[in-house]
Amino acid sequence: MDKSVKIVDLGDADIVHTDTKKSHYNICKAVKAALNAKSLPVVIGGDHSINIPCIEAFKDESSFHILQIDAHLDFVDERHGVRYGHGNPMRRAAEKDYVSGLTQVGIRNVSSTAKEGYEKAREMGSDIISVRQARKIGMKNIAKRIPKGKRLYVTIDIDAFCPSIAPGTGTPSHGGFLYYEVLELLQSITVQNSIIGIDIVEVAPDYDPTDSTAILAAQILLNFLGFIFSNSS
Residue 3 banded pLDDT, cuts 50, 70, 90: low
Torsion angles phi and psi, residue 230, rounded to 5: -65, -40
Report, at the CATH architecture level, how domain 39-231 is classified: 3-Layer(aba) Sandwich (3.40)
Helix axes 179-192, 212-231, angle to 10 degrees: 20
CB 160 within 8 A of CB 71: yes
pLDDT digits (tens, 9 = 90+) for 149-172: 999 999 999 999 999 999 999 999
> Nearest-CA neighbor of 69 among 199, 208, 211, 223?
199
- The set of residues, in sequence order, having a beta carbon less than 8 Å from that of 136 and lying 6+ positions away, is none
Contact 23, 15 (CB under 8 A): yes
For residue range 60-111, what is the model confidence (pLDDT) as tens digits? Answer: 999 999 999 999 999 999 988 999 999 999 999 999 999 999 999 999 976 6
187 vs 5, residue with greater confidence: 187
* DSSP state, residue 148: T
pLDDT band at 114 (very low <50, low <70, confident <90, very high): confident
Whether this prediction's pTM lies above 0.75 is answered by: yes
Q: Report the C-alpha gap between 77 and 10 in whole angstroms.
A: 31
Smallest CA-to-CA distance from 176 within 107, 128, 110 is with: 107
